[in-house]
């Protein structure tokens, strides 16, 4: 799994932590394919809120579940699968 680069923090210079969820891209893929995968370490609370927000944006119930996305035989990505519940 690809992880972010580590940096040393000097003089408490971090103002705020942000976790960006690309709602526009997720909505586009969900409306077209019915399922989308979001890579990366994301908190469960963030994923739950994202699924709720995506449900509002898409107009149908969106469910999220933890998943491994198999790219090829050697590479798989950890993340969350968002899909429209029928």
84 versus 39: the higher-pLDDT residue is: 84
The string of pLDDT tens digits covering residues 7-57 is 545 565 554 445 678 888 899 899 988 999 988 888 899 999 999 999 999
**Cα maximum dimension of the chain:** 51
- The domain spans of the chain are 23-84
The answer on pLDDT for 1 being more than 50 is no
Q: How far apart are CA 56 and CA 58, in angstroms?
A: 6
Among 26, 68, 76, which residue's Cα sits nearest to residue 46? 26
Q: What is the pLDDT of residue 66?
A: 94
DSSP-H helix ranges across the chain: 23-33, 44-58
């Amino acid at each position: 799994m690809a992880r972010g680069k580590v940096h040393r923090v000097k003089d408490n210079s971090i103002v705020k932590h942000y976790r960006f969820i690309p709602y526009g891209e997720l909505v586009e893929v969900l409306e077209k394919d019915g399922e989308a995968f979001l890579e990366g370490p994301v908190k469960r609370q963030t994923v739950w809120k994202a699924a709720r927000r995506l449900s509002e944006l898409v107009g149908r119930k969106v469910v999220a579940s933890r998943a491994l996305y198999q790219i090829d035989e050697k590479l798989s990505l950890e993340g969350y699968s968002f899909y429209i519940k029928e």
